[in-house]
Amino acid sequence: MIGITTYGPEGDPPEFSLPVAYVDAVTRAGGTAVLLPTSGATVKHVLGLVDGLILSGGGDIDPRVYGGGEHPTVYSVVPERDAFEIELVRQALGRPELPVLGICRGMQVLNIALGGDLELHLPDVHGETVVHRLPPRKPTYHAVRVAAGEALETIYGQTEFPVCSWHHQGVRKLGSGLRPIARAADSVVEGLVYDRHPFALGVQWHPEMQVADDPLQRRLFETLVRRAGGSACD
């Protein structure tokens, strides 16, 4: 049972939502997806229902959470979601039996929950030698390089591959216990590992958007589901 955090509540009337690709990725890997709204149960209760956790993508985290100031490109801020997911991460990391995977925004939540912060808009800092998102807010592709001998190389079986990218923010200061294990060519951090947990990873790209056509990206979800089932094998 793999819990996946949802978007929202947003809209009128307010609703929780999640792209189907996340559910399909978990299902293809042999798991059962459980959607986790940001209200209706305590974090402790939610974590008691699932065997693994995916922190999904979506809108930006409120910069006030990490003292990030303001920027005109910040969008779709939902403070209720921010608070829920940050607490979810902190409690999940105290459960060594529960594998954790942060995707895009989810990797950023992982970093912030551990005391890190973000670059508010990557083009302001890194330029556009690597395009991480097409205007106005569309996905694109670029290569990432993962560190040899680290968890992502073990999972993917290679150190460089193309990824689906859809973000405009990225890790600045690292959270406590986190290490970068993948980067884009412009040095933007694309992968993180939390060494104080048996399986807690973050990726800045969107592997769920590639699994239908790319067997390589399926390996990340397959590994998560195996871990959730009690296997220590990568």
Residue 149: alpha-carbon gap to chain centroid: 21
Cα separation, 158 vs 111, whole angstroms:
25
Q: What is the distance between the alpha carbons of residues 131 and 150, in angstroms, rounded to a whole number?
A: 25
Q: DSSP label at 99? A: -
Helices 20-28 and 215-228: crossing angle in degrees, nearest 10, is 70
CB-side neighbour CA atoms (13 Å) of 43: 17
DSSP 8-state code for residue 138: B
Active-site positions read 104, 206, 208
Amino acid letter for position 197: H
Computed on alpha carbons and rounded to an integer, the radius of gyration of the chain in Å comes to: 16
